[in-house]
């Protein structure tokens, strides 16, 4: 992996970069759609390419449980298995395991958990997390980390942070695949001194890139922004900074202003399947009665396949009739919106008007759906 800084914004910490991976080359800041189980729900790989997407995320936890990382390795790796010849980032599965609550038990060696599918018991260690991701053959792998719950005490958070550092070191030792970059994950919850300690410890381990985990888990947005303000200056300029699990446009803008390069989230695809779509004026719900006879596109300024060919009235009908096409067309639109949004941000940084772009976007974009 190679990361090159192209341009810095004069007024903020926003930056334009180029990330070269085994299967793709992308400019940052970038948003990665989530393909949890080796598929971005409701989308063909060819559709993703038409939109312009070059890097997606898949989930190690789910692929380990079904169909199994060794089966995928036998198929030629995840790229071949899912017919995707562009970039893939895999997470370690840690977040999913720690979300199981009563179905898992944390030890210093690793975490014992029960499958949400069949109740079978498993023991996820840093070494197994690396084995799984090396079998999958993703372009970027993530270290196994422990995400403290929200809210959590100082002691809980510190224990999770220290354990994440130790696990990161074990991941680095056991990771051998040369065509796969391994990113460390900074934890520390919402305690500035723990965030700082985690960031300095991860940087000392010298990973090619760094994820920032344990944010966007229910805390007020300003709290998240304050944590970013603490962490990003501690990450070397020549390493990409990845804010995990954030996909809301306003939060993305604020994070980029604070120096973040990479994002992922299920929000655009999950919302689309529930009839919530982005527009340049904010999200709208397509099942509202006001759209029953609205024969205009979702967003008149959007040039996606859905907006060029279909109306809100038709999409509302599809959702009401529970037709599969409703998810396909809404997802296409939302992913196009995100890709176009990120491209506009990159252009604004490149041409020196990021602050103006952000201000103008926020003047139009209302985060609350219409009543």
Name the residues annotated as catalytic: 91, 264
Asked if 202 and 168 count as a contact pair (C-beta separation under 8 A), the reply is: yes
Asked if 94 and 144 count as a contact pair (C-beta separation under 8 A), the reply is: yes
Determine whether 366 is exposed, middle or buried from the number of CB atoms within 10 Å of its CB (0-12, 13-18, 19+).
middle
Cα 246 to chain centroid, rounded = 6
Asked if 103 and 142 count as a contact pair (C-beta separation under 8 A), the reply is: no
Residue whose C-alpha is closest to residue 330's, from 300, 356, 360, 310: 310
Asked if 298 and 315 count as a contact pair (C-beta separation under 8 A), the reply is: yes
d(CA 174, CA 131): 8
Asked if 223 and 190 count as a contact pair (C-beta separation under 8 A), the reply is: yes
Within 13 Å, how many C-alpha atoms sit on residue 120's CB side? 7
- Can you say whether the dihedral through the CA atoms of 23, 203, 90, 232 is positive or negative? negative
Length of the chain (residues): 371
d(CA 192, CA 322): 47
């Amino acid at each position: 992996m190679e990361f090159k800084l192209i341009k810095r914004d004069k007024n903020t910490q926003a930056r334009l970069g180029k990330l070269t991976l085994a299967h793709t080359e992308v400019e940052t800041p970038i948003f990665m759609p989530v393909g949890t189980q080796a598929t971005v729900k409701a989308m063909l790989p060819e559709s993703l390419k038409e939109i312009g997407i070059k890097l997606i995320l898949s989930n190690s936890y789910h692929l380990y449980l079904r169909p199994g990382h060794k089966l995928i390795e036998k198929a030629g790796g995840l790229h071949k298995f899912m017919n995707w010849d562009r970039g893939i980032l895999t997470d370690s599965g840690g977040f999913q395991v720690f979300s199981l609550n009563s179905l898992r038990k944390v030890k210093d060696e690793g975490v014992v958990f029960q499958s949400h599918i069949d109740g079978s018991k498993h023991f996820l260690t840093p070494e197994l997390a690396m084995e799984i991701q090396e079998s999958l053959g993703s372009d970027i792998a993530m270290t196994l980390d422990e995400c403290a719950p929200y809210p959590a005490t100082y002691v809980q958070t510190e224990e999770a942070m220290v354990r994440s550092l130790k696990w990161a070191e074990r991941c680095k030792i056991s990771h051998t695949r040369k065509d796969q970059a391994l990113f460390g994950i900074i934890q520390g919850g919402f305690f500035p001194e723990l965030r700082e300690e985690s960031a300095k410890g991860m940087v000392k381990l010298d990973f090619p890139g760094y994820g920032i985990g344990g944010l966007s888990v229910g805390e007020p947005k300003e709290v998240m922004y304050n944590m970013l303000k603490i962490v990003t200056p501690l990450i070397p300029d020549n390493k990409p900074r990845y804010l995990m699990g954030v996909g809301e446009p306003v939060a993305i803008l604020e994070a980029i202003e604070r120096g973040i390069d990479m994002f992922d989230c299920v929000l655009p695809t999950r919302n689309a399947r529930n009839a919530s779509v982005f527009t340049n004026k904010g999200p709208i719900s397509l099942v509202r009665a006001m759209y029953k006879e609205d024969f205009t596109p979702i967003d008149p300024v959007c040039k996606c396949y859905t907006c060029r060919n279909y109306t809100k009235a038709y999409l509302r009908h599809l959702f009401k009739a529970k037709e599969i096409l409703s998810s396909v067309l809404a997802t296409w639109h939302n992913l196009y919106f995100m890709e176009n949004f990120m491209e506009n941000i990159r252009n604004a940084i490149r041409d020196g008007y990021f602050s103006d772009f952000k201000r103008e976007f926020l003047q139009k974009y209302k985060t609350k759906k219409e009543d």
